Structure 1
Amino acid sequence: MVRNMEKYRLHTGWTFCLDERNEKEETAPSEGFRAVTLPHDWSTDYPFDPESDTCGSGGYAKAGIGWYQRTITISENDIKSRQIILYFEGVYMKSSVFVNGTYAGGHIYGYTPFEVDITALVHEGENEILVRVDNSMQPGSRWYSGSGITRDVWLEKRHPIHVARYGMYLTTDEGNLNISTTLHTSECMKNDDSLSLNFVLKDNDGAEIAKKNIELKNDWMEADLDAAILSGMDEDVPKTLCQLQTSLSIQVENPVLWDHETPYLYELTTILKKNDTVIDERTDKVGFRNIKFDAKKGFLINGKHVKLNGVCLHHDGGCVGAAVPPEIWRRRLEKLKDMGVNSVRCSHNPPDEALLDLCDELGFYVMDEAFDEWRLMKAKEIGSNTHESHGYSMYFDACHEWDLKTMLYRDRNHPGIVLWSIGNEIPEEVVVGGEELAVELSGYCHTIDPTRKVTLAHDQIAAEPYSARDAFMDKIDVVGYNYVGRWRERAELLYDADREEHLDRCVIGTENPSAGYIRSDYNFEVDPGSFWNKPYYTAAVTVGKLLRYTMVHDFVAGDYMWTGIDYLGEANWPQRSAGCGCLDTCGFEKDAFYFYKSVWNQNEKFAYLCPHWNLKLEKGTVLPVICYTNCEDAELFVNGRSFGVKSKGFPCYGMTERYGHFDRYRRPANTDDLFLSWDVPFEPGKIEVVGYHDGKEVCRYNVETTGEAAAIKLTVDKTSVDADGRSVVQAEIRIVDSKGRIVLDASPQLDFALEGDGEIIGIDNGDPACHEQWKETKGRHAFNGMAYAVIRAGQNKGELKLTVTSSDNILTNASATIQAC
């Protein structure tokens, strides 16, 4: 969303201080401030600590209390004719904003935005802004939260009469764009004043295709309870606030429909005029589409049945923590798209709006989730979440209505959002009376946005000793199942266990295990104490069974695999992050990526083999070689010797038209798994797979035993970047041998150096047990042949040069040049 007002992103000019004084001290320290750029997550600035109060849930990161300081310049004209607003997209957590020493406002929940009206507190000239952020009550989250002003901050100077921040509600049906607009004002309108709204709709090429104007009557009403939320305030409705609402429709002939394959977006410009003078202007993206969840057919988009191939995503970006540049999300989402993912679940909190914008643009269906806790605190008895004492349940009664409604109002115009989730694994699902809260929260969703259904991710369906109650689930539009095969015979029956008794129930898999494990980490032993890290040769067996079921049963709308990407926290020392994703924290593809791609992406035939062939095994040791492919058949060769052609039995095809007739050739199958496996004796050299379709070779893939590490290979995702102080370049580092092959068992120490006006804001290697500080540039280990760095451009144009060398100077170094424009 963009507004044509005086609006400035306040990303530079800030200083920060971690407050090591008494936590009750509410005045800023007098010293210790250092320059930072927003968004900023101070938890990434300090070492990992096994004794940290955040514990494994929070990734053993530093939390505490921090202060941010900046000055802003206000003119005399601004004070006379404008409202001066600070808009925070996200501050984790418990923020207090001070202007010229006076408290101006604040917010508790770190994942929802808020605005502070500072008009009455500023004066002409320089004004000091202080923001206190209190994330000291630890452990405070079941995953890494980050600490600080982790999303964008804006200074806005707006006319007293304006379109409310979330005052546009856009819906589409059969070529109609339905527009509901809410205006806000804090000044009195004269009887002879005139107001008008002009709407202009343009297609994806910028051509005008429809417009409409409307003259408004001065039918201002006293603001209702939701008016403050519509504006983004986190306070009671100001007595002077009034609102005016209007609705209309614009008809579009044969609009291009939005879906995951063709994410076509129109652009609506809204212009507000007073006495023919423009006083506010904004643009919104529009996607024409129709969504439906059906108890028999699952999910339908524009009348077409589509299976939701989903992944759960936490909000962190690996080495940048919770302050994630949009370019990092773009790279990650593009990789997930290649994997065949068409949907993401925002686990377990409202996401950065930049992520939602990218989902609209790239074509992802979104489950937008509000809470991980309601009134009842979670207290898991296994893993790292053993001491949950400061979660959202502490603030639920005071904040839940504001936070949920803020998410709904902010996000309801995104065409990618197809489901509202009101909670994840909520203990109230097993408690008598818990359904009353489900009704309340669902009611907010249905009132604010009646076009979408509501889900909740249940983890206690048929659980022991306490089970989710039907009285609770009956209040949920689309019942979400977490780990559907967890209990007793459900490991075999899956959704069949409930289907017969609940034929009218819409069903979706909101969270189920992935085939992920640590990148290029090939162990051959089963660790009974590990929930996620399974041997490579068994990782896809159980998850493949659920995938087969989901794909052939239309009533299951889809499934969200845990997780699409490794995330910080929810770990046990020495690990500080969870390794269950298909991409690691660097965004590098793991073996699981290719497993899901072989099932979900049929666009281009491919084959992939694991493990790598640098294994430290005795010659002749028999081991499984796994092939993930979307080809019908595949043949494995070891040093040129064939180990046979194999075929998957899924999907099966029956006879058609007459007895004995098959539309497709009945291939002899070797397995009912969604992957192929050969047991072969190990010998150094090369393993190669050939993929066949309709009996013809369509692809090849090989893995070789490499030589010793000889050089560093460096690639960047762009060679030019905006010199705006916020845009980033992402660098991938690979350790290669003398023939340029990646040495997947090499982990040398590397040194990073950047010349020019820029900054290395994070370095990572994807190892969940690596304790090197994110911003340290010397002595950084690659992990299994790879590393990753993020460079942020400064504000001066010129050349940036990144150089990576080995700390022992043995490897040939590498460099890349980027132009800051």
Structure 2
Amino acid sequence: MMLSASRRTILASTAAMAAALAQSPIVAQALAAPAAGAPPQPDSPRRRLSLEADWRFHAGDIPFAPLRDHEAAYAHAKAGNATGGAAEDCDDGDWAMVTLPHDFALGQAPDPAANPDQAYRPRGIAWYRRGVLLDPAWREGSLDLVFDGIATNATVWINGTLAARHFGGYTPLVIDLLPFARFGEEPNTIAVQVDAQDSEGWWYEGAGLYRHVWIERRAPVHIVRHGLVARPHPLGQGDNAATSGDWAVPLTLDLANSGATDAAVTVAARLMAPDGTPVATAQAALTLPAQGQAQAALTLTVPRPRLWSPADPALYRLETRVLADGALTDQESGALGLRTVRFDADHGMLLNGEPCPIKGVCAHQDHAGVGVAVPDSLWDYRLRRIRAMGGNALRTAHHAPAPELLEAADRLGVMILAENRTLSAAPDTLDALAALVRLGRNHASVIAWSLCNEESIQASGIGVAMVTRMKALVRALDPTRPVTAALNGAMEAEPNIADMLDVVGFNYGRGSIDAYHAAHPTRPLLSSEDTSALMTRGAATGDPARHVIADDDMTAVAWGQTNSAAWAFIAQRPWLAGGFLWTGFDYRGEATPFGWPSTSSFFGAMDLCGFAKSGFHIRRALWSATPVIAIWPHWTFPRQEGRAVPILVASNADLVSLHLDGRELARAPVHDGVARFSPVYAPGHLVAQGWRDGRVVASATCVTAGPPVALRLVPDRLRIRAERRDAVPVTVMAVDAAGQSVPVAQHGFALHVEGGQILGLGNGDPNLALPETPAADGRSGAMALFNGLAQAIVCADGSGPLHLVATAAGLAPARCVLRVDPGIIAALPAVPPAQPLTEWRQAPASAQRPVPGQRLGDGDMNSWAWTKPGATQPTDPAAPWVLLHLAFTPRRAVAAKGGTLRFASVVGRAEIWLDGVRVALKADPAPAPLAIPLPPGNGERLLDVLFDNRTTPGRCGLAGMVSLGP
């Protein structure tokens, strides 16, 4: 399908509409954000290769074959012989093809019998499989397969051998590939069983390979994973030292040498200022023992640096190089922010020696349309939305974040309270905690570690014992940041994990925090979670029967407060370090106070798309130093003429006056960021003016919209890279004849793209019943506007500009075009599917010619040897005949249409027999490949290779892989 209008015309009209929309109140308020930050930076292709395209996916389990005889049980217990979905020869030809990140739970239809906290989405078990070729040069050094996150538990097989088990959905799984890998033209099969039957949280967690997957390769002499640690600090003492003098940047690098000889190693480091100017260098030398590890230490000195803060997220660039015997073997570079953080019992949090109240939000990691499979650029978008609200911090509730979120937080100046998922001293959970700390300790944005959230064993000896071990682990890995926890009640009980913390986090607890502060005046305190106000984006009034809550910041849970009251409580207590509102965004699951069919929460200051609710504007008014005013929700109430309607004005002025078509309607004082009105509705221009000291300091206008006549598409930006991780959120809306957005439009629409894909669609409705996933080809999808807005997440494939067209019955279509730049992430292609033939039996070498097609006796594991392709053996003149035998069942496609048997390398004179018939003769003993047609046929087939070594002594065997394919 070709879309009309030229690229130049559409680009011009899209830019013009974006400028025009800034004048539209609902759009200006819902979409207001600072300019997009820099896109995610590329990783060095030398270091990491993406492994995300062309995975084969099967929803549901594929159990291992039942063990009904001795031979099956014997084989099952041996390496390389996995069955079911883990088998190398598993028939995955008709599985779905998916690209990662992938959340398979999102595609499930909500089921009222399923877990409501998982958004009523069935989860269960699924399988992923992929083939890869590995360069023979990668045999030397380090070669890791890295899964950044799998929801929830996973088992991984490589080439039919169990390689790893992983418990927990939020920290990476790293597998050393070298012991399992084949190299060259022999493909490797990665099989992953994801078991999401269990859950770790009481919110939507998704399911599947939902974060990135990489192959990471390093030379024999290299920096180990997360082995570079930088701990910047001022050289002086006291809070003023941060801004008044020079800084030191001590570095440690954990180095490994997998080579066979010791290496003379030089480590060189260079620090580049935010403007690219070199400001410091250092180097160190050491001897790195063979098959050993060592640590290098060096220090950079930085004169009067530019410090990192939310107001100025200045980032230096640290470059490190490792040379072994004079040759470059490894290098690592990344952003580094210099700043100090101190929590004080009297003055709250001090950043670079100055008070910096935390204006934070808690957030889970799912987003409209994509679930938990969040593209990298959406982290940037979501953090920009927090900054647009006036916020400066994010609590990663309640688990380790994606690495890309921390990178975006560094760039955008968002402070991170990094939270651990599970309170426990079990080895798996301590490993997960360690992974969190290693991930975040070089990020300026990370200001503290949170060990847990609302644990019932908080006031117990067991809880204290666990926290003692967990805190010691954190201290060993990062002695520079405080340790906290989000606690809820039982604060004065003894024993108590609160007594173990550097900063005590209060979840709610408004009735006890003052008394606790008085009893423990030297303990820094933090509102780790507060608010829990409830609202439906854009709803002027509530309707409990339809699970709709008015978007007016007047409803909160019994244990919480409204946005206005929650921040007023914090602002009145300068000794409190600030707070994290629950939540920044709506999230799937936990649809308090409702049940089915509500699938999403109502807590967010923004909805699941990042569109603003009243809480967004109230926080913006309370958190901003510059004048703020916003009218909410809108001034379009069809058939309501002559009736009083609720209007909220969020402002940090002292007084607000409300005007309709130039006539003043009323004045109201501002209390905690809000002035409330109930004007009689009449269409027109509604203007709010904010007054301070007798003069107008801010104003906002809402214009009544007419009937919708067209759709409009507004992308977050007009430029995109040709890779899935650089997705763009596109706002869909309806507009009237004057181009004014219609905030009450609820139209269904269809979206089609060329030059890319739709990753998902959503609209922020907590009661959404429509599918959020696109059609199978990713080129088209459908959604409905909800209170005037919807969102599509799109990506480009590099085939040309990304064209989008949206259509709806009775409305003119909308079009836009995004410019596409080349992708920057190196990837490892998938191998076309082929069935490996691996389970061979070898008869004892014989002086007499054996008869091909023989079958072993039942239960005979020892008369014939087990062997796999990839090895040869010396011949014996006294027993020159060697017979290899295999019984196999072709995959369905080959059984139906026939295929080709491919021998990568056969060494020696050989006859190939299939089902008792000789089908090929290899007369030349030199190593050579063979390709033999396989006729169609169902059921078990018999394959024999008979080596005749009577006249060609030396070696014989299957030196390479044997496979069956189309």
The TM-score bracket by the shorter chain reads: 0.7 to 0.9
Q: How does 1:181-196 map onto structure 2 within 5 Å?
A: 181-190=253-262, 193-196=263-266
SS at match of 1:194: strand
Match of 2:631 among 601, 609, 614: 609
Contact 1:518 1:767 in 2 (8 A): yes
Query: Aligned equivalents of 2:275 and 2:750: distance in 1?
Result: 45
Amino acid at match of 1:789: A
Q: Normalising by structure 2, what TM-score?
A: 0.73
Q: 1:688 Cα shift?
A: 1.9
Match of 2:252 among 172, 180, 183: 180
Q: How does 1:738-757 map onto structure 2 within 5 Å?
A: 738-756=737-755
State how many pairs are aligned. Answer: 734
SS at match of 2:179: helix
Residues 156 and 673 (structure 1), Cα distance of their counterparts in 2 relative to 1, 3 Å cut: closer
Q: 1:742 Cα shift?
A: 1.9
Q: 1:258 Cα shift?
A: 0.8
- For the pair 1:27 / 2:89, whether they are aligned, the reply is no
- For the pair 1:460 / 2:489, whether they are aligned, the reply is yes
Match of 1:38 among 91, 97, 100: 100
Contact 1:516 1:590 in 2 (8 A): no
Q: Which residue of 2 aligns with 1:5?
A: 46
Query: Aligned equivalents of 2:573 and 2:581: distance in 1?
Result: 17
Contact 1:86 1:115 in 2 (8 A): yes
Residues 673 and 201 (structure 1), Cα distance of their counterparts in 2 relative to 1, 3 Å cut: closer
- For the pair 1:583 / 2:606, whether they are aligned, the reply is yes
Query: Aligned equivalents of 2:64 and 2:120: distance in 1?
Result: 20
Q: 1:44 Cα shift?
A: 2.1
Q: 1:625 Cα shift?
A: 2.4
SS at match of 2:516: helix
Residues 788 and 554 (structure 1), Cα distance of their counterparts in 2 relative to 1, 3 Å cut: same
- For the pair 1:506 / 2:506, whether they are aligned, the reply is no
Q: Which residue of 1 aligns with 2:580?
A: 560
Q: Which residue of 1 aligns with 2:505?
A: 480
Contact 1:69 1:128 in 2 (8 A): no
Match of 1:407 among 413, 430, 436: 436
Q: Which residue of 2 aligns with 1:92?
A: 151
SS at match of 2:106: helix
Identity rate of aligned residues, in percent? Answer: 28
Match of 1:805 among 807, 810, 813: 807
Q: Which residue of 2 aligns with 1:665?
A: none
Query: Aligned equivalents of 1:416 and 1:335: distance in 2?
Result: 17
Q: 1:620 Cα shift?
A: 4.2
Q: Which residue of 1 aligns with 2:652?
A: 630
Query: Aligned equivalents of 1:400 and 1:60: distance in 2?
Result: 27
- For the pair 1:784 / 2:795, whether they are aligned, the reply is no
Q: How does 1:418-429 map onto structure 2 within 5 Å?
A: 418-429=447-458
Q: Which residue of 2 aligns with 1:815?
A: 815
Q: Deviations over 1:439-479 (max 9, x none)?
A: 111111122111111111012246xxxx8546321111111
SS at match of 1:430: coil
Q: 1:353 Cα shift?
A: 0.7
Q: How does 1:677-688 map onto structure 2 within 5 Å?
A: 677-688=676-687
List gaps (5 residues or longer) in structure 1. Answer: 221-239, 376-395, 649-671
Q: 1:202 Cα shift?
A: 0.9
- For the pair 1:210 / 2:210, whether they are aligned, the reply is no
Contact 2:489 2:509 in 1 (8 A): no
Q: 1:26 Cα shift?
A: 5.5
Match of 1:497 among 515, 523, 527: 515
Contact 2:758 2:781 in 1 (8 A): no
Q: Which residue of 1 aligns with 2:477?
A: 448
Query: Aligned equivalents of 1:162 and 1:152: distance in 2?
Result: 23
SS at match of 1:427: coil
Q: Which residue of 2 aligns with 1:49?
A: 111
Q: Deviations over 1:14-71 (max 9, x none)?
A: 222213445996536524412211111112223222223xx11111123122222222
Q: Deviations over 1:602-626 (max 9, x none)?
A: 23x2311224333367544444422
Which deviates more from structure 2 when the two are superposed, residues 769-778 or residues 358-367?
Answer: 769-778
Query: Aligned equivalents of 1:533 and 1:374: distance in 2?
Result: 35
- For the pair 1:164 / 2:234, whether they are aligned, the reply is no
Amino acid at match of 2:91: S
Amino acid at match of 1:630: N
Higher Cα Rg, which structure: 2
Q: Which residue of 1 aligns with 2:899?
A: none
Q: Which residue of 2 aligns with 1:384?
A: none
Q: Which residue of 1 aligns with 2:554?
A: 538
Query: Aligned equivalents of 2:611 and 2:153: distance in 1?
Result: 34
SS at match of 2:187: strand
Amino acid at match of 1:598: A
- For the pair 1:569 / 2:594, whether they are aligned, the reply is no
Q: Which residue of 2 aligns with 1:280?
A: 330
Q: Which residue of 1 aligns with 2:796?
A: 793
Q: Deviations over 1:216-244 (max 9, x none)?
A: 134x5xxxxxxxxxxxxxxxxxxx96320
Contact 1:308 1:342 in 2 (8 A): yes
Q: 1:576 Cα shift?
A: 0.9
SS at match of 1:443: helix
Q: Deviations over 1:703-724 (max 9, x none)?
A: 2332222111111123232223
List gaps (5 residues or longer) in structure 2. Answer: 1-40, 66-83, 235-246, 775-779, 822-966
Match of 1:149 among 200, 209, 232: 209
- For the pair 1:245 / 2:316, whether they are aligned, the reply is no
Contact 1:516 1:592 in 2 (8 A): no
- For the pair 1:644 / 2:669, whether they are aligned, the reply is no
Residues 138 and 401 (structure 1), Cα distance of their counterparts in 2 relative to 1, 3 Å cut: closer
Contact 1:10 1:153 in 2 (8 A): yes
Q: Which residue of 1 aligns with 2:870?
A: none
Q: Deviations over 1:742-769 (max 9, x none)?
A: 222211110111123x111101111011
Query: Aligned equivalents of 1:782 and 1:23: distance in 2?
Result: 46
Q: 1:683 Cα shift?
A: 3.6
Q: Which residue of 1 aligns with 2:539?
A: 521
Q: Which residue of 2 aligns with 1:105?
A: 164
Contact 1:195 1:215 in 2 (8 A): yes
Query: Aligned equivalents of 1:271 and 1:112: distance in 2?
Result: 27
Residues 76 and 27 (structure 1), Cα distance of their counterparts in 2 relative to 1, 3 Å cut: closer
Q: Deviations over 1:539-559 (max 9, x none)?
A: 497442331231232210010
Alpha-carbon RMSD across the aligned residues, in angstroms, is 2.4
Match of 1:339 among 350, 371, 389: 389
Contact 1:460 1:468 in 2 (8 A): no
Query: Aligned equivalents of 2:161 and 2:552: distance in 1?
Result: 58
SS at match of 1:545: helix
